[in-house]
Amino acid sequence: MSLDIAYSIELQDFIDPDRAYELFWAGLLTDKKAFLCPGENCDVRVTCANLDKASHDMKVAAHFRVYGEHDARCEIFRKVPLKITEEINKIRSHEKKTIDLSVVDSFSLKRPDSYYEVNNENENKKCIKRSPKKNHILNG
Per-residue pLDDT of 53-110, as tens digits, reads 988 888 888 889 988 888 888 887 777 777 666 666 665 566 555 555 555 566 778 8
Q: Is residue 53 part of a domain?
A: yes
Instruction: Measure CA 138 to chain center.
Output: 18
Number of structural domains, the chain? Answer: 1
Higher pLDDT pick, 131 / 52 = 52
Q: Is residue 129 part of a domain?
A: no
pLDDT at 116 over 90: no
Q: Is residue 125 part of a domain?
A: no
Q: Is residue 139 part of a domain?
A: no
| Nearest Cα to Cα of residue 68 among 30, 40, 33, 24 | 33
The one-letter amino acid at 36: L
Q: Is residue 126 part of a domain?
A: no
Distance CA 106, CA 77 (A): 44
Q: Is residue 91 part of a domain?
A: yes
Residue 36, SS3 per DSSP: strand
Which range marks the domain in which residue 64 is found? Answer: 2-108
